[in-house]
Amino acid sequence: MASIFKIIGQRVALGVLTLWIVSLIIFSGVQFLPGDIATQMLGQSATPETLVAFRNSLGLDLPLYLRYVHWLGDMFRGHLGTALSNGRDIGELIRPRLFNTLFLAAAAAVMAIPLALTGGVLAALYRNTIFDRVINVVTLASISLPEFFSAYIFILLLAANAGIFPSLSDVDATTGLGDRLIAVALPALTLTVAVLAHMMRMTRTSILSVLANQYIETARLKGIPEWRVLVRHALPNAWAPILTVVVLNLAYLITGVVIVEVVFVYPGLGQLIVDSVQKRDIPVVQACSLIFAATYVLLNLTADILSVIVNPRLLHPK
């Protein structure tokens, strides 16, 4: 038990260090963007005195390291700052957008995870059959398709031609659960196609790797049905890589939604960061980027911890 807590502590420390390095990259990258934020916000007609006053109000007159320390301190206190484009508190601006992104990711996960696990298990159970080959072809094809291409195909088939779902995912705080599910159907389907193949192929590979062990052959020689061998003996020993790839794809569902949200004009965090980049709203871009980075680091940390819990052999690496 002490070894588990030691490894978890090491993973947490590494996650914190990674997030700090990412915060440095985010802050530095945004600061070195071309163009002048004061001129962008105030326009070309602004006087030099007005531009200087505006830069001073943003703290741009301070050295870069002091600006980073102040920004990071505000992040730790939960104060994300004020949006330059509309003067709103960034926390209030991000909160509904983050909820929309998490809802979209959850809807995609509800569809993708059961399909991936079921398809992977069946492909392993009926390996080298027509079913297995069809699954491999479909998954390889889905991996090869860019997300925006899949999105436009779904819009053409299910929105423009069939009229089943709306082509634009317009939701707000007053949208009910049923209407929200209909609105996110196409974006969730697009994300499902993007992550389904990876999880399904990893499930199949992990199970086939376990099925090659001698204790599986012993269970078969005892006359145990194949499905029971798979469920009782193979799956418990294949969970570590499967859980890892599932959690990593969940991280992708949350942090990789930018393109999908832009295509469907979905009011999520990805759409917000694109709009803020266009407006050069630097504080919003920094806050959204840090949230994406923290989410990805947290879910990667979760994947590491779960892999250790379900496979205690990782506590004693050779």
Positions of the chain with pLDDT lower than 50, given as ranges: none
Beta bridge partners of 82: 89
Q: Which H helix or E strand runs over 238?
A: helix 235-255
Sign of dihedral through CA atoms 60, 63, 64, 67? negative
Please give the Cα distance from 90 to 173 (Å, whole number): 17
Please give the Cα distance from 303 to 134 (Å, whole number): 30
Q: Are 104 and 257 in contact (CB under 8 A)?
A: yes
pTM: 0.83
* Residue-level pLDDT at 186: 92
Nearest to 97 by CA among 250, 292, 296: 292
What is residue 88's DSSP assignment? -
**Which residues 6+ apart lie within 8 Å of 292 measured at CB?**
254, 255, 269, 273
Domain 96-282 is of which CATH architecture? Orthogonal Bundle (1.10)
User: What is the torsion angle, in degrees rounded to the nearest 10, for the CA atoms of residue 73, residue 78, residue 79 and residue 85?
Assistant: 120
**Strand runs labelled E in 77-208:** none
> In terms of residues, how long is the chain?
318
Q: How far is CA 98 from the centre of its chain?
A: 12
Domain boundaries, the chain: 96-282
* Residue-level pLDDT at 314: 59
Beta bridge partners of 89: 82
Please give the Cα distance from 122 to 293 (Å, whole number): 35
* Residue-level pLDDT at 34: 65
**Which residues 6+ apart lie within 8 Å of 197 measured at CB?**
138, 139, 140, 142, 143
